């Protein structure tokens, strides 16, 4: 196995890095700071749309997609290099449509749906959100209660979704709903493309204490959608959803580790230039030990992400759920360890987020607080560990999981 990039790939990496470095000079402060909520906050969304347009013009936005759907069949290595650069520079790109809904339509949609739904995504014209979780169906998603009941050519949707990232700025939701209420679990579920401007949909914000707005509750009351919006077979949406979950969990694999590298370089700069009790932090043996440990873990994670990409390549979009779960657990918890260590060495000031005294512009306390969201979302890490034990290590499945 050769882990080096080819000369062509290195040239591509330079092209991406140069482009993003330049573009970030025009980014608003909230984007420059980085953090989980950035792509979906209102302040950053304008920049998100601007950069999306530029990427579409360059042919980079959906470059991994087949040519017939507006992509350029870029190899996985090329996509990884692109994603790594995007994440390293903190470019706020929406991945819900490009990496989750789009691939699901390619695998399960009809020809008519592929023509109608994929091109607007490829052109960066539409924003999607993911409508799965409900107040009593998160980890146990298969128990969800929102119904989509057939009425002639239409489905009538009733129910409530919660924690829906970006619903307030989205045009569409890919919804998981129960089409057969007689079935209580995974059988009887179907996937839909829902236009969020339809009557019968209400979106209510769930705001952070500081007022920023990323998540929402979405209520459906007799909302009618045409049957042509059902993606895949009726009542067989669960397999499709599980596959999309893997895109979600692993999709942010290399991005997560590239983001970690940016934060790591920031903290490295901090220990090189900051003094405590007359000595630089880098002179402290415990700080050096921790820096070395995190660096080793960061490199391990990056290798794991590339391995996962290879699994996707050989599996033609379908790959091991255990690999996706490993990436999710390792990446999110590494950010947690890195931000925890950063706050330890920063002392009291590290805990201040928005002040002239906040070290590194408060990004580490921001990471420390928001990473818990990433540890829970896309299936909590406890659930991921269960999947690794079951699918990855071959332990028998527990009843009810």
Ligand X SMILES: Cc1cc2nc3c(=O)[nH]c(=O)nc-3n(C[C@H](O)[C@H](O)[C@H](O)COP(=O)(O)OP(=O)(O)OC[C@H]3O[C@@H](n4cnc5c(N)ncnc54)[C@H](O)[C@@H]3O)c2cc1C
Closest CB to ligand X among residues 62, 176: 176
Distance linking the first and last C-alpha atoms of the chain: 37
**Candidate ranges 40-48, 60-68, 293-301, 372-380; the one touching ligand X (CB under 6 A):** 372-380
The token pair at 52 is 């999306």
Least distance (Å) between residue 259 CB and ligand X: 15
Least distance (Å) between residue 5 CB and ligand X: 33
Cβ(189)–Cβ(231) below 8 Å:
no
Closest CB to ligand X among residues 136, 273: 136
Tokens 């499945």 -> residue: 397
Cβ contacts of residue 178 below 8 Å, gap of 6+?
A: 144, 145, 146, 147, 148, 188, 189, 190
The 102-131 site mask, x for binding ligand X (CB under 6 A), equals: ---------------------------xxx
Size of the site for ligand X (CB under 6 A): 19
Least distance (Å) between residue 225 CB and ligand X: 18
Q: Taking CB under 6 A as the rule, does residue 369 contact ligand X? A: no
Residue 25 CB coordination number (10 Å): 7
b or e along 261-286 (b: 16 or more beta carbons within 10 Å of the residue's beta carbon)? bebbebbeebbeeeeeeeeebeebee
Residue 354 CB coordination number (10 Å): 11
185/35 Cα distance (integer angstroms): 36
Among 32, 373, 389, 390, binds ligand X (CB under 6 A): 373
* Ranges within 233-292 binding ligand X (CB under 6 A): none
Among 76, 203, 311, 376, binds ligand X (CB under 6 A): 376
Least distance (Å) between residue 159 CB and ligand X: 12
The 379-398 site mask, x for binding ligand X (CB under 6 A), equals: xx-xx--x------------
**Candidate ranges 68-76, 272-280, 335-343, 374-382; the one touching ligand X (CB under 6 A):** 374-382
Q: Taking CB under 6 A as the rule, does residue 143 contact ligand X? A: no
Angle at 145 between CA 144 and CA 149, to 5 degrees: 125
Among 6, 273, 349, 401, binds ligand X (CB under 6 A): 401
Closest CB to ligand X among residues 35, 138: 138
Q: In the annotation, is 153 catalytic?
A: no
215/211 Cα distance (integer angstroms): 11
Angle at 268 between CA 370 and CA 357, to 5 degrees: 60
Pairing of strands 213-226, 230-231: unpaired
Least distance (Å) between residue 167 CB and ligand X: 8
Among 83, 113, 133, 193, binds ligand X (CB under 6 A): 133
Least distance (Å) between residue 305 CB and ligand X: 21
Among 138, 159, 321, 359, binds ligand X (CB under 6 A): 138
Closest CB to ligand X among residues 139, 351: 139
The token pair at 259 is 């983001």
Which among 248, 255, 297, 326 is annotated as catalytic?
A: 248
Closest CB to ligand X among residues 120, 373: 373
Closest CB to ligand X among residues 17, 353: 353
186/184 Cα distance (integer angstroms): 7
Least distance (Å) between residue 271 CB and ligand X: 30
359/350 Cα distance (integer angstroms): 6
* Ranges within 149-188 binding ligand X (CB under 6 A): 163-165
148/225 Cα distance (integer angstroms): 9
Among 15, 110, 139, 235, binds ligand X (CB under 6 A): 139
260/272 Cα distance (integer angstroms): 18
Element (H, E) at 163: none
Closest CB to ligand X among residues 139, 361: 139
Least distance (Å) between residue 163 CB and ligand X: 4
Q: Please, is 23 exposed, middle or buried when counting C-beta atoms within 10 Å of its C-beta (0-12, 13-18, 19+)?
A: middle
Residue nearest to ligand X (CB): 138
The token pair at 121 is 């995504």
> Which residues contact ligand X (rule: CB under 6 A)?
129-133, 138-139, 163-165, 373, 376-377, 379-380, 382-383, 386, 401
User: Hey, which residues are catalytic here?
Assistant: 248
């Amino acid at each position: 196995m050769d882990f080096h990039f080819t000369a062509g790939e290195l040239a591509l990496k330079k092209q991406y890095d140069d482009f993003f470095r330049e573009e970030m000079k025009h980014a608003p402060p909230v984007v420059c700071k980085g953090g989980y909520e950035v792509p979906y906050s209102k302040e950053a969304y304008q920049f998100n749309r601007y950069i999306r347009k530029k990427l579409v013009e360059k042919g980079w936005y959906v470059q991994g997609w087949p040519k017939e759907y507006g992509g350029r069949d870029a190899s996985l290595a090329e996509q990884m290099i692109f994603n790594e650069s995007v994440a390293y520079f903190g470019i706020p790109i929406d991945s819900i449509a490009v990496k989750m809904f789009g691939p699901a339509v390619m695998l399960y949609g009809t020809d008519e749906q592929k023509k109608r739904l994929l091109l607007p995504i490829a052109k960066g014209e539409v924003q999607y959100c993911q409508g799965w979780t409900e107040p009593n169906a998160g980890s146990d998603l298969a128990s969800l209660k929102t119904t989509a009941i057939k009425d002639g050519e239409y489905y009538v949707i009733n129910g409530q979704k919660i924690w829906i990232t970006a619903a307030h700025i989205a045009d569409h939701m890919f919804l998981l709903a129960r089409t057969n209420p007689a079935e209580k679990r995974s059988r009887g579920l179907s996937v839909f493309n829902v236009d969020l401007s339809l009557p019968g949909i209400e979106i209510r914000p769930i705001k952070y204490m500081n007022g920023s707005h990323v998540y929402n509750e979405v209520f459906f009351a007799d909302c009618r959608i045409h049957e042509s919006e059902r993606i895949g077979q009726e009542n067989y949406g669960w397999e499709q959803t599980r596959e999309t979950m893997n895109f979600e969990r692993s999709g942010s694999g290399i991005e997560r580790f590239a983001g970690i590298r940016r934060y790591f370089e920031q903290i490295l700069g901090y220990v090189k230039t900051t003094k405590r009790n007359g000595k630089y932090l880098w002179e402290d043996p415990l700080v050096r030990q921790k820096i070395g440990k995190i660096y080793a873990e960061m490199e391990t994670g990056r290798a794991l992400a590339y391995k996962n990409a290879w699994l996707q390549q050989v599996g033609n979009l379908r790959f091991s759920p255990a690999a996706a779960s490993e990436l999710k657990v390792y990446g999110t918890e590494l950010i947690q360890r890195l931000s925890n260590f950063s706050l330890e060495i920063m002392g009291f000031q590290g805990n201040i987020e928005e002040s002239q005294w906040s070290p590194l512009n408060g990004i580490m306390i921001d990471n420390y607080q928001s990473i818990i969201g990433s540890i829970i979302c896309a299936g909590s890490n406890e659930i991921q560990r269960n999947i690794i034990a079951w699918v990855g290590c071959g332990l028998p499945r527990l009843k009810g999981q």
